[in-house]
Amino acid sequence: METTALLQEMETYAEAHNVPILNANGRRFYAQFIREAQPHRILELGTAIGYSALLTLSLAPADCTVDTVELDEERYAIAQANFARTPLGTRVTQYLGDAGDVAERLAQEGRTFDFIFLDAAKAQYPDYFRKVTPMLAAGGTLVADNVLFRGYVLHPVMMPRRFETIVGRLQAYLQLANTPPYQTEIFSRGDGLARTRRMTDAKGGTE
């Protein structure tokens, strides 16, 4: 199936079934990040129905591969079916399980990635950061979705008490993501995207 048509179909499905995928504003920024980074090895935590993985592959170099992790069995199966509908799906490796556990295993295997996308459990973002950054290549890019969580991360005074934990964890994530050698920009359109880069010195080493 032609990729653009499949992505549009997946957008419609996500809206009808309340599946969290990149929203329209987030997609524009995310597409820009991929075009600028031109990644070849990507790790994604949070497959959902496979939308962002296929969007990524439609924009990335032809040799790009995506390793993607999903905890929910039903969404894993839906993503698997979507990947089977396009040749791009042959460049996806799926993992069913807890994102943190799988990330830990991949790190132990010595895997490296030049682009990492976080779109899984928001309260676990600090833990994910610690587990995936050892795999991020020097000069690589880490993008996290929903980092502003309805605006409460920047304006906690307006926050209902039931969101205190998740907002606190996202604030901790952003603090980690701005600790050297990492530098982070926040793009506030949609629910907030954070782009983190692992900086390198003039000789190509990590600062």
- When pLDDT is averaged across residues 126-142 and rounded to a whole number, the result is 96
- SS3 for 184? strand
pLDDT band at 201 (very low <50, low <70, confident <90, very high): low
CA dihedral 74, 78, 80, 82 (to 10 degrees): -170
pLDDT exceeds 60 at position 89: yes
Q: What is the pLDDT of residue 197?
A: 92
Q: Where are the beta strands (DSSP E) in the chain?
A: 41-45, 65-70, 92-96, 113-118, 136-145, 182-187, 193-198
- When pLDDT is averaged across residues 158-176 and rounded to a whole number, the result is 86
Q: What is the pLDDT of residue 202?
A: 41
Q: What is the pLDDT of residue 165?
A: 87
pLDDT exceeds 60 at position 163: yes
Output the CA angle 116-119-124, nearest 5 degrees. Answer: 95
- When pLDDT is averaged across residues 29-48 and rounded to a whole number, the result is 96
pLDDT band at 81 (very low <50, low <70, confident <90, very high): very high
Interatomic CA distance for residues 180 and 192, integer angstroms: 22
**Residue 64: what are its φ and ψ, rounded to 5°?**
-70, 140
| Minimum mean pLDDT range among 39-48, 140-149, 150-159 | 150-159
Q: What is the pLDDT of residue 151?
A: 64
Interatomic CA distance for residues 53 and 68, integer angstroms: 8
- When pLDDT is averaged across residues 182-195 and rounded to a whole number, the result is 87
